Structures are given as C-alpha cells and as structure tokens.
Chains A and B, each alone.
Chain A
C-alpha cells in the first residue's frame, strides 16, 4: 500500500502543502493532459482555499471544518480485495442498465459494458486521457471554474480518475447508463473524482449516478462532472445520493449546452451527511433547453446545500428549475438558484421554484432565489416558499375519513411527487417513488441495499 498517504489535514499539513508534497507522485500516475491543469488550479487554490461561509456562494455551508482531520488519500487505485458486486446491489435493481462502478473515485476495472452501441466510449478518465489526448485537450477543463472556485480548483489539482462517457454523433443509447459511486475504506478517506461526459451532435443518453457509502468510515468526496452537450443532443442526468451521515460530499456538475440541446438534471438526495451540489448549466447555443430539478429529504443533523446557476449566455433559450425539500429533526437545508441573463440573451424564458416543508422547529432552511438580468425581452420568474402542509388540504382529507398520520404522509408524498414525476426513466421513477413513500412512513429504518446499516455500536446512520 505504498500509494496510500495518510495525514492529518489541518494539523500536520494543509491541503495545499499536501498537494505540493505529492504532486510529483500524482503526476507520475497521470496523463499529460490532466497534469497540464494542475499548476493553474493550484495557484487559484492558494488564493481561495476551501471556501468558508464568508464566500457569498458558500454562505450557508462552511466547508472548511469538513476538510480537516485524519484522512487517508491515495495516489493510485487500491487493489480491490472484494468484488463490489458481491457486497452491493443498487436500489434500482429492477433496472436494465449498462452498469459501471467507481470505487473511491477510481474507475473499477471489472465493469461489464457489453452491448454498447458502436462508437460509444465509456471508460476510465485516467486511461482515456492517456489513450486519446487530443480528445481530452478539446474538452477537459473547459467548463469547470477551476480558476475561480476553490472546490473546483482543488478537484482539478488532485484529479486522477473517474468515468468518461463519449457518445458519438447521432447515436442514441437506449438503455440508461448507470454509474455506481462507492465509498468504502478501512480508514477515513479523502477522495477526488473527475468525470467527463461528451455528447456529440444529435446523440442521446440517460445517465444515472448513484452515490453510496459501504463502510462506516468518515469520507470527504470532491467530485466534479463536466459535460459538453453538442447541438441537438439530449441528456437526462440523474444523481441519486444515498450516503451515510459521516460523509461530506461536494459535487460539481458543469454542463455546457449548444444549439437545440436539452439537458435535464435531477439531484435526489435521500440521505447524506453534508452534501453540497453545484449545478451549473450554461446555455451557450440558441434554443437550448436546460432543466434542473432536485429533491432533498433530510432528517437528523443532515445538511444539504443545492447551489444552482443557470447561465443564459445567448438568446432564445429556456430553463426551468424546481427544487423541493422536506426537512425533519435537526436537519438544515440551503438552496441558491442563480439565473443569469446576459446582455443580448433576448427572448429568454427562465423559471425557478423552491419549496420547503419544515417538519420540526429545529430544522432550518435558507433559500436564496436570485435573478441577474441584463436583457429586456425576457420572461423570468422565481418563487420560494417555506411552510407547513396546507391546512385546507388536510381538512379535506380528514373530512373524508383519512386519519391524520395517513393524511400527513399523503400530503408530503404529494409535495415530493412533483419532482419525482420529472424522472423520465420509468423504473427509476417507480423505485424513487417507493423509496420516498417508505421514507415518509418511517419504514426505511434499515437500508435494504447497503452493508452499513445493521452494524451495531455505530452512530452512523443510513436511510
């Protein structure tokens, strides 16, 4: 295990120093293209560091404390001692998908992707960046704000592996591509994952990313997914987060869309420790359509911060956003929805909505729907609500003989369903629907798909 480094970050060493010390080793294991970005990213990181809540974009989540502590980090993939497929079966088990696994940020070598349409490339970032540097030079790092955002910079500094999906011109991948991200370790772990999705003209794909934790250790994951969606291409992107509560996950999703393209993202947070999602859609070609949806169901002391940024860079684009949250116990939630309409982005239609249900008096929500508009011929709206279940609706149900508990569950479920119904992959929708309902009924006291729950004597909880 000579490729595993263990340090107490914050005490022994800062993240910047850690990088400087191991930079040569990281670069030795990586391709030239990935290495060429590290210097600039490091310069940015030296200035920004891990953002605290003094940084406006991170106002409601102070990440600094989570990036300190006793962490292991690796500069090459560890040997797989277990077959992940033996210890793990995903929530969405009824789904027929191309499935690949990424373990601790490293592409899992035993992925079986038989039957992919011709020309479609799915593989490891480390490998593909060595095999096809020209392709990488064209796309890698072009959309990621590693020159301004500390987290993106840190990811770019340490980036070594992750998944790559490349759909060539005109190819439609019917079956969903499922990526199962697994965090499992014997010690606390700091991991980095970098993913790249490139969709050429008029291609179509459905990508589903499921995040799981398979051991009770503390995890810090910095993950960045970059997507380049060419004209007329269509991407459905789902991210299902189900991690235990000692996990800190910072996930950036940066998509650039060209003419007539369609991207729909859906961030479903069922269980998390501290999760921060940066969802950015740049509408860079006319008639592009960007949709960002999210649902977060929190309890105990979980914290989820969804930061979305829809950038209308050109005219005639459409965007729609809907984020809904149910917050129980001591959980805290945050939402920022930034819509930017650049000068000349005329005929823009941009809609945004954020609704929250607070179930206890200790739960907290901070929401910031934000519009910045520099063009006049636009239709933009945003709305945000925080409240409880509708009394009239409750009364209606009660008068029809439905008891209070049942009525509450029904209404909460109806509240969440607005986001669930946006899921276009039917088996996934059904599965999520079931999970959410069970969750509201309190029947999900034990996770049926992971090995974490059921281990006694641990404070770590899962769904």
Chain B
C-alpha cells in the first residue's frame, strides 16, 4: 500500500494550479518604487480629500521606521519594496450601465474563473463588486441595496462620497502604525470595498467581492471597511484567485470591521492565490491584517476562512470584544502543499463583560509545506465571565511537511473559562481500512475523511462558497494519503 500511497502523494504534489492564466488588459501604472511622492501621486490620481493624504503620509512615515516582523514560523525571502508597482489601474475606466459594456476580455477572465457575474448571479442572489487589480470595475445590485440604505461601493468612491464615515472609521480598528504591513497598506492602498449597513437593516443579499491580482509586478493593497450600525446584519464574502506568475507578488491587505450594538457581521473568505509551482518557485505573499471590533453590546463578528493558496500566508483575523455580551468566532481551514508556508490563526481580545469567543482551526499540511496555527486569547482584568473555547487540529499528509501550534493564553480574570485543545495526527490506517472494506477506494476515502475533518468549518460558509471551498480542497488533496 505504501507504494500506492507514494504514488498518490506524488500526483498530489504535482497538482498544478488550475487558475493560472493572464488577462491582457492595458494598464495605467505608476513606475516601480515607493517614496513620499508615490504616496502623494496615488492620492492625487484617486482625487482624494486632504485628510486621506495626511493619513497616507503619516502611515508612510511610520512604515519607514518599522521592521518586517520575523516572529512568525515562516521563511520569508527579503522583499524589495522598491521593485513593486504601487498603483495600476485598467486604462479604460468604463462607467457601465449593463453587462454588454463590460470589456469582453475582462468578462472572459471572470467566466474562466467561474464567477457568475451575469444574469445567473442575480438568481444566485449575490451582489458582486469585482475588483480587478486596484480599481473597481463593476458593481451589481447597487440599486437593490441602495433602497435599503446599504452602501456597498469601492473604498475610493466612499472616500469621495462619504468622507465623514470613512474619516470616522478608517484606521479605528487597524491603526496605521499597527504593524509593518498594515502601515504599508495604509500608505499605498489602491482600492477595496466599503460596506455600510444602517441601523436595523438586514442585508437582503450576501455581499461578495472577487479579488484578482492581475498585472505583472503589481503588489495589491486592498482595503476593506465594513461598518454595521445597531441591530444590523451583513454577510460578506471574499474570494480570491490569481493568475500564474513566476515572480513573487506581494499582497498586503487590511480588512476592518466595526460592529455596533446588536449588529452581526459574518466575513467569509476563500483564498486560492497562486501558491507557486511544485518546486516552490513563485507564488503570492499574503500578508493580511484583518480585525473586527465588537464595539456595541451584544454584537457579533464571525470570521470564516478557507486558505488553500499563496506561497506564504501571514494572517490573523481577530476580534476585539469591547461591548458587553459581544462574541467573536473564528473558523479556519488552512491547507498547504508543496513548498507553501502558512502562519495563521486568530486573536480574541476579551475586554467587555460576558464576552464569548470560539476558535475552530483545521490545518492540513502536505508535500514539503509548513503549516502553523498561532493564536492568542487574552482576557483583560475587567472582562468578567469571559468564555473561550479553542480547538486547533492538524492533519499531516506526508512525512516531509510540518504542522505547528503556537497558542497563547493570557488570562487576567478569575471568572474566565478558557479551554484550548489541539491534536495532530494523520489519517489513520484503520479509517482507510474501514472505508476500503466497504468498497470505497483509498483515494475517495481520503477525500471523505478530509471533508469530514473540515466539515465544522465548511458548514459555516454560505452555500455558494461552501461548494467552491470543497472543490478547492478536492483539487488540492485528491487522493492524498498520509
């Protein structure tokens, strides 16, 4: 059986990235390199108000004095920040009324990705704000949402149209000097999404954005800001695929969520950027700062992520539980293969009373990859009756990969109930045997077991995403046996 396993494993390691193609769209880009002038130019080209320029410049100056974080269990090659184009926009910037006006080549790209941007999207009930490189191209469902008072637009538009909202909330969760990559993003972010749900409104559709890194050598610096006012609800979906490229591409995004009283925000991600080829060449560097602030009492923020792509992932979606009775959730599946490295997890900061948090993390490592869970649960002194349960499991497929767990529990209140569990294992021979006995081939059995293993997390995803996520896992893991 061992040889068969080796063969299957071999096949998996040779599995090539399915979404590797490149759209030829003319780009209007700034020259490579980063300086104060570049920051000013980005701000000027986007026609931003004065406060945004100040914000960017402050962040840029902070960034100059910061150092790349080296505490993660990652081996990050040195990044030349002067060799990156910080701004690239598709040249023709169409203002579109109908689907027919969309650049056919762009449309073809999305079709290849299987994004139902067209009519079927409406049936699926998903509004899409498609971001290609840095500038928002097409937004659907805007009117439906506008009726409810929901604002769903690109962040550049929001900066122009709703400067007060942006000024109030931008950087309130992730300050510009938060960390190295957050500072970089704050200085040069090009575009992203802005969501505002007014008081008492439940978003009738799931909001989704497809990010796509396209142009050569363009670091993509997305910025997402979600504001949920009292008693509102929104579910936000983010999905990523990127074309195949040999040079490493940097992606340093920020997602900020503010949830006011009794508001609930659900943020789901499926990330499948180019992970590099099977020799570890190329691939995206994914250094993301995601943080939600449960500002109001009884508010709730839930992160769900399925991470299968990127050469290096450095990502810790976190919840700051400020309001009393607020709660945070984190569900994650992180899959690494070949030479991928992932250091991901969450931070749950309990500040308010009666706060709850739940962490379910499932790591799967295969090939020669390294997969780490790094999490912090912090209960401050005044956070009475805090409750946390964390579970982080790792599954190892192959004997050359690594699975690591770095949980930090810092408890300063005696009424806290904190539980942390972690296990590491491979797929048991008895499990495979059991399936074989019942006529299920080894390959299918592995799929079955892995699917069962991640079910808890996948179940949290909205339906459309759950399907995509399962597909992704299948592609990456088809038939691998530990």
Query: A-side interface residues toward B, CB under 8 Å?
Result: 56, 343-344, 346, 356, 358-388
Contact = CB atoms under 8 A, between A and B. Distances in A.
A362 B381 CA distance: 8
B250 interface: no
Given A371-B422, A378-B425, A384 B417 contact: no
Given A361-B414, A384-B407, A373 B424 contact: yes
B394 A373 contact: yes
B398 interface: yes
25 contacts: A343-B399, A343-B400, A344-B399, A360-B414, A361-B413, A361-B415, A364-B410, A364-B411, A368-B406, A370-B404, A370-B406, A370-B407, A373-B394, A373-B396, A374-B401, A376-B397, A376-B482, A377-B482, A378-B424, A378-B426, A381-B422, A382-B422, A386-B411, A386-B418, A387-B416
Given A365-B409, A366-B411, A385 B420 contact: yes
Contacts, number: 116
Contacts of A346: 399
Nearest 3 pairs of A and B residues by beta carbon:
A358-B414, A376-B396, A386-B418
B35 interface: no
Given A358-B413, A366-B409, A378-B396, 9 more contacts: A360-B414, A362-B381, A370-B407, A373-B396, A374-B402, A376-B398, A376-B399, A381-B423, A387-B419
Contacts of A378: 396, 424-426
Given A364-B411, A366-B410, A386 B397 contact: no
Contacts of A359: 414
A387 B418 contact: yes
Contact of A56 (B71, B407, B415): B71
Chain B interface, >50% SS class: strand
Contact of B417 (A344, A376, A387): A387
Contact of A383 (B401, B413, B422, B424): B422
Does more than half of chain A's interface fall in helix, strand or loop, or is it mixed? strand
A384 B414 contact: no
A381 B424 contact: yes
Contacts of B411: 356, 358, 364-367, 386
Contacts of B426: 376-378
A371 B411 CA distance: 20
Given A380-B423, A381-B421, A373 B403 contact: yes
A362 B412 CA distance: 7
Contacts of B401: 374, 376
A346 B399 CA distance: 8
Contacts of B422: 369, 371, 381-383
Interface string B352-395: 00000000000000000000000000000100000000000010
- Which interface class (under 10, 10 to 19, 20 to 34, 35 or more) fits B? 35 or more
A52 to B, nearest CB: 15
Contacts of B408: 366-368
B405 interface: yes
Contacts of B425: 378-380
A385 B410 CA distance: 11
A371 B416 contact: no
Contacts of A364: 410-412
Nearest to B377: A386
A361 B409 contact: no
Interface string B417-444: 1111111111000000000000000000
Contact of A363 (B400, B414, B418): B414
Given A361-B381, A376-B396, A369 B420 contact: yes
B414 A371 contact: no
* Most chain B beta carbons < 10 A, residue from A56, A369, A376, A382: A376
A28 to B, nearest CB: 43
A373 B415 CA distance: 33
Contact of A384 (B397, B415, B420, B482): B420
Contacts of B404: 370-373
Contacts of A358: 411, 413-414, 416
A388 B411 CA distance: 12
B414 A373 contact: no
A462 B423 CA distance: 40
Interface string B186-224: 000000000000000000000000000000000000000
Contacts of B414: 358-361, 363, 388
A375 B402 CA distance: 7
Contacts of B420: 367, 369, 382-385
Contacts of A366: 408-411
Contacts of B421: 381-383
Given A368-B406, A368-B407, A375 B418 contact: no
Contacts of A374: 401-402
Contacts of A369: 405, 407, 420, 422
Contacts of A386: 409, 411, 416-418
Nearest to B71: A56
A358 B71 CA distance: 30
B199 to A, nearest CB: 36
A56 B408 CA distance: 12
Nearest to B405: A371
A257 B411 CA distance: 35
Contact of A388 (B73, B398, B399, B417): B417
Q: Which of B396, B402, B409, B425 has the most CB of A within 10 A?
A: B409
Nearest to A383: B421
Contacts of B406: 368, 370
Contacts of B403: 371, 373
Nearest to A380: B424
A369 B422 CA distance: 9
B200 to A, nearest CB: 37
